[in-house]
Chains A and B, each alone.
Chain A
Amino acid sequence: MKEATDQLRNQEPSDPDQAARQQAMAVLARASGDELSEAWDAWPDRPEVSPVRGPETGLVMVRGRIGGGGAPFNFGEATVTRATVKLSTGRIGHAYALGADKDKVRHAAIFDALWQDEATRPTVEERLVAPVRRRLGDDDARRRDESAATRVDFFTMVRGED
């Protein structure tokens, strides 16, 4: 099993931009189906896409930690959809996302493949990843601020002298 995993790993070109790719994949996973399909529909010179695996929906057992930071325990499952695609350029793209939206995840895998290609990466970043990242960041900021408005400001009533 370990050897098989290593073999699979070796098929991927060693990627110096792994952290950047991880971040892009995280954004693609949280993008909406519409954001991804619109970006794909508007993509110039769309390459041929052939499925390698999926898209398929399955389960991931989500783990928590006892007391928040202790030993792991199995908390409960979540639906997850994954897809692997191959572009006519030869690039292979992977995507995983919570939920059961197969079209969304197939598109995310296509954009992962396009992101890995240095020729198309800037366009993927500019047209899709950056705007979605900005929207997600704005959503988070808005929700933080809405929660902050419900923060209790305690004040003390002083009674009597001294």
Chain B
Amino acid sequence: MYVAVKGGEAAISNAHQLLADRRRGDRSVPAMTIEQIVEQLGLAVDRVMSEGSLYDKELAALAFKQARGDMIEAIFLLRAYRTTLPRFGYSNPIDTGNMLIERRISATYKDLPGGQLLGPTFDYTHRLLDPELMGDGAVDEPQSREAETGHTPRVSEILDQEGLIEGDGELPDDHRTGDLTREPMEFPMTRDVRLQALSRGDEGFLLALGYSTQRGYARSHPFAGEIRIGEVEVEIDVPELGFAVILGRIRVTECQMINQFQGSAKQPPQFTRGYGLVFGQSERKAMAMSLVDRTLRATELGEDLTAPAQDEEFVISHSDNVQATGFVEHLKLPHYVDFQAELDLVRRMRGEFEARQNATGQQGDNLEAAE
């Protein structure tokens, strides 16, 4: 029950002023600029964009600064901001096959066209804290070597030549692409809507679910067929022009997870696939997303439902951290009246319980005396 409560205006206003002070911190330390956050905390900005489901580095950096580095608060701010903007339309689908690649690795083929490009990765670092970063030492320019020209095919295209892997994932021709920002969620979902939900889902939640599938809660035998990170063009059809215009580029991370599949009555033994696509550079989340995408296809592929990561309604209903934080955090709002009612109820039940204890206790005493 919610009851309007008056009072606290001054406390709230002062609390917000205190928040602003603590956010700024020691005034003798220079304030961070948005450019510094975009340039030097880029992966935090990427996470805010990905889970905020809004690609805009400056706004994501502003949200991160305003939230004092609290990721979910920053994501919440970005989601709230997007509701104030009109929707101009839908882009043409991006082509990740035609990406300006910054990193591309495959765990399934050593030698493949385009090669293995490590890019700016934490992999193979020793995870030792670097005291040099306590200061502002000069950083060397990166090495450079002449790039190969030509198409870098997806690993799935290579496997497809043998016919041992399923296709990319078609939906019926008359299927209208679902949009969960426009329509209420309904279960069961089609895979397009599920991917939209997973792409904006909480990284930690998807990571834990993906991990659970590896530990045996839904057997899935995955291989990271390919991970690629880089920039793709975004293009939109403009009706008043009668042709498509390129809006610019965005950075995305794509993961193609490949899973052994023993086949079913309907399908031959082959490799199946899980797909991950995430805004920015976010390999961990793209990998987790592709694991979860694959396990959520259990019904489609005729697999036994045995694990939480296969339960679409459970996974998708709890993957959005803005919804989750809203419901968990609402518990701190005043529930004075509800609690008074519960307090009364518990007192009454306790009274009845004690009365019963006393009655049976006395009976027991009487019995003992009689014996």
User: Which residues of A come within 8 Å of B, CB atoms?
Assistant: 5, 8-9, 12, 18, 22, 25-26, 29-30, 56-80, 82, 84, 94, 96-100, 140-152, 154
Binds A, one of B129-137, B188-196, B332-340: B188-196
Decide yes or no whether B307 CB sits under 8 A from chain A. Answer: no
Beyond A65-B93, A67-B167, A71-B169, 4 extra complex contacts between A and B, CB < 8 Å: A29-B248, A79-B59, A99-B56, A152-B116
In the complex, 21 of the A-B residue pairs with CB atoms within 8 angstroms, ordered by the A residue number, are A9-B239, A9-B242, A12-B241, A25-B245, A26-B246, A29-B247, A61-B179, A65-B168, A66-B169, A66-B171, A66-B191, A66-B192, A68-B97, A69-B97, A70-B167, A77-B54, A77-B87, A78-B55, A99-B58, A145-B144, A146-B142
List the B residue with the shortest CB-CB distance to A19.
Answer: B243
How far is the CB of B268 from the nearest CB of chain A, in Å? Answer: 18
User: Which residues of B come within 8 Å of A, CB atoms?
Assistant: 49-50, 53-56, 58-59, 82, 85-94, 96-97, 100-103, 110-111, 115-119, 142-148, 154, 156, 167-171, 175, 177-181, 191-193, 195-196, 199-200, 233-234, 236, 238-250, 252, 254, 256, 273, 275, 277, 279
In the complex, the answer to whether A75 meets B87 with C-beta atoms within 8 Å is no
Q: Nearest 6 pairs between A and B by C-beta?
A: A67-B168, A66-B169, A70-B168, A70-B169, A98-B248, A73-B192
Chain B hits for A57, CB < 8 A: 85
In the complex, the answer to whether A22 meets B93 with C-beta atoms within 8 Å is no
How far is the CB of B149 from the nearest CB of chain A, in Å? Answer: 9
List the A residue with the shortest CB-CB distance to B178.
Answer: A74
Chain B hits for A96, CB < 8 A: 236, 238, 245, 247
Chain A hits for B102, CB < 8 A: 143, 147
Chain B hits for A63, CB < 8 A: 90-94, 177
Taken together as a complex, chains A and B put the C-alpha atoms of A68 and B154 apart, in Å, by 9
In the complex, the answer to whether A76 meets B93 with C-beta atoms within 8 Å is no
Chain B hits for A12, CB < 8 A: 240-242
Chain B hits for A94, CB < 8 A: 238, 240-241, 245
In the complex, the answer to whether B177 meets A148 with C-beta atoms within 8 Å is no
Chain B hits for A84, CB < 8 A: 240
Chain A hits for B171, CB < 8 A: 66, 70-71
Chain A hits for B170, CB < 8 A: 66, 70-71
Taken together as a complex, chains A and B put the C-alpha atoms of A92 and B247 apart, in Å, by 19
A68-B275, A76-B50 are known contacts. Are A144 and B100 too (CB-CB below 8 A)? Answer: yes
